């Protein structure tokens, strides 16, 4: 084997771009890793046996290649350069100098209202505090923030009548603008505030299937209803939706919260119908919201394609809330959330990079396989295209919960068709998919 490490000083690209470049440039018999020289990436490269200089910094681009011979290495490096060139964003001939801080950007443009943070966790507290002091709402995609710091930032946001969405907030739709992982849903009368990213997405998509739109969807981060945080942003979100004239019905979503915190937020949005049930299925929550605005919940009538096969259910999920809901409904089997921290160290979220889940799916031997496919902004451009060839080779019941909206960029109908042609049973309800999996495993 021949290997080569190339360092390009000061050549910055975001981590998702580099992950896509690595995958696209890798070929049979080639190992290609492209990333910024952060401590974690350097550790991962060292673990793979690559020799690295001691003076690398996080603004340095590292291209590490291992192939059968020199020609293979040259081909891989050329492929990396092609991919980087294709993904580069052209610069304007006359470009205004970038602001050097969030505060400077806010001073420059008085119309700015939201700061989107997706940076290493150790830097979040400083930048989030600066954004709040500049009068900006904060959408914090980053994790690695302590509960103590999160609670302090949220208390400051409340004092300034702002939102701190996060930390580790995956989804929001504010005034029709999608932040993080979100779906292309129509505007409408239902407002959502949630401590669960895929929970928000599932309810949005269930409402979309019922022909009902969303006014706003406010993500608050998965720990907001923890005792130490006290539901500060859930309360703030409920208050804002209660005051919003376009919102007629409010939905509150969370994984099972601290009981005292849950009790404290009940009645915050008095005066408007609120669907707040942290134990019901997301399908049921969406149905009740639809009925509250005079509509009807979407119906799902997909059935198994063949007789049940007694045995265990294997759940392979990219969404943590969807995984937990399915596990509760099925009641037995093995379930893996590939979006959990232990699976995302040094790699993109499984909604973007499906490689670990595809490997697990190909190796699964259980008679019933249950998985989610989440569409929308920020997600993989063609998840079904990667999953369908593997599904077609499996001798098992494969049941897919397709979380998507009619307007999503991947094409809802096209994604469904690929999965069904491969032999999967596809439904737009995670709860219904779990019930089918339970039936397929003999009840």
For residue 94, the model assigns a pLDDT of 46
409 and 348 in a common domain: yes
Residues 6+ apart with CB under 8 A from 431: 281, 282, 283, 284, 325, 326, 329
* Packing angle of the helix pair 15-25, 70-87 (nearest 10 deg): 140
CA-CA-CA-CA dihedral for 133, 134, 139, 142, to nearest 10 = -70
Choose one of 87, 113, 144: the last residue of a domain: 87
346 CB burial (10 A radius; 0-12, 13-18, 19+)? middle
- Both ends of the chain: CA-CA distance in Å? 51
For residue 90, the model assigns a pLDDT of 47
319 and 432 in a common domain: yes
**Which segments of 134-272 does DSSP mark as H helices, in order?**
147-159, 197-209, 232-243, 259-265
For residue 39, the model assigns a pLDDT of 83
Q: How far is CA 420 from CA 388, 400, 412, in A?
A: 8, 9, 12
For residue 105, the model assigns a pLDDT of 86
Using CA atoms, how far apart are residues 188 and 186, in angstroms rounded to an integer?
6
Indicate whether 165 belongs to any domain.
no
Expressed as residue numbers, the domain containing 371 is: 313-440
Tokens linked to 320: 């943590």
* Packing angle of the helix pair 197-209, 282-292 (nearest 10 deg): 50
Q: What are the tens digits of pLDDT across the range 238-295?
A: 999 999 999 999 999 998 888 999 999 988 877 899 999 888 899 999 999 999 999 9
Q: What are the tens digits of pLDDT across the range 160-189?
A: 999 999 999 999 999 999 999 999 999 999
Indicate whether 286 belongs to any domain.
yes
Choose one of 244, 273, 299: the last residue of a domain: 299
Indicate whether 157 belongs to any domain.
no
349 and 433 in a common domain: yes
For residue 248, the model assigns a pLDDT of 97
For residue 234, the model assigns a pLDDT of 96
Domain count within the chain: 3
* Residue 351, domain CATH: 3.40.50.261
For residue 279, the model assigns a pLDDT of 85
Choose one of 87, 104, 138: the last residue of a domain: 87
For residue 95, the model assigns a pLDDT of 58
326 and 270 in a common domain: no
Which among 144, 99, 137 has a CA at the least distance from the CA of 115? 137
317 and 206 in a common domain: no
Q: Which residues, given as ranges, of the chain have pLDDT below 50?
A: 90-94
pTM of the model: 0.86
Using CA atoms, how far apart are residues 162 and 153, in angstroms rounded to an integer?
10
């Amino acid at each position: 084997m021949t290997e080569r490490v190339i360092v390009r000083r000061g050549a910055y690209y975001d981590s998702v771009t580099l992950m896509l470049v690595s995958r696209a440039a890798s070929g049979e018999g080639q190992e290609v890793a492209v990333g910024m020289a952060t401590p974690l990436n350097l550790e991962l490269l060292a673990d793979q046996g690559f020799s690295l200089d001691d003076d690398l910094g996080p603004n340095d681009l590292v291209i590490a290649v291992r192939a059968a011979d020199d020609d293979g290495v040259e081909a891989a490096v050329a492929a990396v350069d092609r991919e980087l060139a294709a993904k580069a964003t052209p610069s304007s001939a006359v470009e205004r100098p970038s602001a050097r801080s969030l505060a400077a950007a806010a001073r420059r443009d008085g119309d700015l209202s939201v700061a989107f943070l997706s940076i290493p966790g150790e830097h979040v507290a400083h930048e989030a505090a600066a954004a709040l002091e500049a009068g900006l709402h904060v959408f914090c995609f980053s994790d690695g923030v302590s509960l103590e710091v999160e609670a302090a930032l949220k208390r400051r946001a409340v004092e300034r009548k702002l939102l701190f969405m996060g930390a580790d907030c995956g989804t929001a739709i504010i005034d029709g603008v999608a932040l993080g992982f979100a779906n292309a849903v129509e505007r409408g009368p239902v407002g959502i505030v949630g401590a669960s990213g895929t929970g928000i997405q599932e309810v949005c998509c269930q409402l979309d299937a019922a022909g009902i739109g969303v006014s706003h969807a406010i993500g608050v981060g998965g720990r907001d209803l923890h005792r130490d945080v006290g539901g500060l942003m859930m309360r703030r979100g409920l208050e804002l939706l209660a005051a919003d004239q376009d919102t007629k019905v409010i939905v509150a979503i969370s994984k099972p919260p601290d009981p005292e915190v849950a009790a404290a937020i009940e009645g915050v949005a008095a005066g408007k119908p609120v669907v707040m049930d942290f134990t019901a299925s997301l399908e049921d929550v969406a149905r009740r919201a639809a009925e509250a605005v005079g509509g009807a919940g979407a119906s799902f009538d997909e059935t198994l394609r063949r007789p049940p096969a007694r045995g265990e259910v294997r759940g392979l999920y990219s969404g943590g809330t969807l995984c937990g809901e399915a596990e509760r409904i099925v009641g037995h089997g093995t379930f893996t959330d590939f979006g959990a921290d232990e699976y995302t160290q040094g790699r993109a979220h499984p909604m973007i990079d499906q490689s670990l889940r595809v490997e697990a799916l190909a190796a699964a031997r259980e008679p019933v396989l249950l998985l989610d496919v989440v569409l929308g902004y920020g997600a993989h451009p063609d998840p079904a295209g990667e999953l369908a060839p593997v599904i077609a080779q499996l001798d098992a019941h494969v049941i897919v919960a397709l979380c998507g909206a009619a307007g999503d960029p991947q094409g809802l109908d096209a994604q469904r068709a690929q999965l069904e042609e491969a032999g999967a049973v596809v439904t737009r309800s995670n709860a219904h998919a779990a019930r089918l999996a339970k039936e397929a495993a003999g009840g």
